[in-house]
Amino acid sequence: MSSARADSLSDEDVIDLVLEGDREAFSILLLRHRPRVRRLGMSFFHDQEDADDFTQDVFVKAYTALGSFQGKSSFSTWLLRIAYNTAINAVQRRRDNLPIGPDDELYGEGGADESHERNEMIRAVRAAMAELPPRQAVCIELYFYYNLRYSEISEVTGFPVNTIKSHVFRAKKLLREKLGEHVEVDHAL
């Protein structure tokens, strides 16, 4: 399939192709959504190899369950739900208290000093997030790092929307307390 044709197909069109027997069409979904799934894996496991294994596991599960996709939500949301459940199950099996939040270095355009300050702020935010109750940490991570709406977080986690709003509100309050008033939580995340 040509790249131009693949780009013009919606996720639902690609799913139809896969379900009609075009197994190779699944690679389109893999290429489109792998970065987001891998970022979620990194936020849970903090290790590139583990995140890669996790990503592969998620896509195998998605491929196997593709026939159950009903289109009630976007494919991306459906896939993130599989990824979230896979990560939660893996973390529960490990029983390690792994902090939530990617450990990537972020560099701004302001030079080394600003980059260093930003990296220190990000580390402080992530350390504070690691101390949040797990449900609050997941909700605030999906809200800020993945820019999901409350309804999408609900689809991914299974939590009611009002519960998610409460978790995000409480998490922001706890982060403000832990980080001090000099850090604006909405901008630090």
> pLDDT (tens digit, 9 = 90+) per residue, 68-106?
999 888 999 999 999 998 988 887 776 544 444 443 334
Of the ranges 16-20, 126-130, 156-160, which one carries the lowest mean pLDDT score?
126-130
Residue extents of the structural domains in the chain: 1-98, 112-189
Q: How confident is the model at residue 107 (pLDDT cuts 50, 70, 90)?
A: very low
Measured at the CA of 21, the angle between CA 32 and CA 6, to 5 degrees, comes to 30
> pLDDT (tens digit, 9 = 90+) per residue, 49-63?
999 999 999 999 999
CATH number for region 1-98: 1.10.1740.10
pLDDT at residue 121, as a whole number:
72
CA–CA gap between residue 171 and residue 155 (Å, rounded): 20
CATH number for region 112-189: 1.10.10.10
